[in-house]
Chains A and B, each alone.
Chain A
Amino acid sequence: MPGSPEASRWRFLITPKWLAWHAFVILSVVGMGWLGYWQFRRAEAGNALSWAYTFEWPLFAIFAVVFWIKTIRDEVHPPAPTTWQEEAGLPVGARQRGDAGEPDGEEDGDLIAYNAYLARLAKEVRGHGRWHGLR
């Protein structure tokens, strides 16, 4: 049902970048399946060393599917920031410097310097909070 909250929650799946991601996953899974089948035929034809690849390619295909599922799950339920990201307050620190303007009078020079240092770190790692990169 278009327009229902449940539907709009999954709407991101049909945006162009996600469609490209789906196509990439499908093509790679089909490709790996085909390679696995090719190795299977070679193995049956007497190439004993192809048996390993016969099992390896499907394994990679399964891995690709697991990866794909995890990207979608991360988009629907973004993972919580890791402990150290929270602890450092990195994104918060960066935003506070920008939004709050002047610091509290209680802050001494060292603390201001330290917060500036944190803000610089936050700038470096900004965008790492969410795992997926389809944006």
Chain B
Amino acid sequence: MEESEVYEILTGVFHDVFMRNDIVLRPGLTAADVPGWDSFKQIEIVLAAQQHFGFRFSTKELDGLERLDDLVKLIVAKTKA
């Protein structure tokens, strides 16, 4: 899967998690940029992404996430593995 496609799917995930359509994803996005993105929402994003992509993120993989593009790159790598 290419990055652009992952961004598209993740946009849907974010809209589902935050129940709004105006969140625009960009590589540098962090929790500080989106109102309401707390540790619970973080887990919801991860769980919803797992459901969408059909694989689990390991504890170590999740520990490495800081910005949105960390997650995107991780997903791209996992889809190609």
**A associates with B:** no
The chain A residues found within 8 Å of chain B, CB to CB, are none
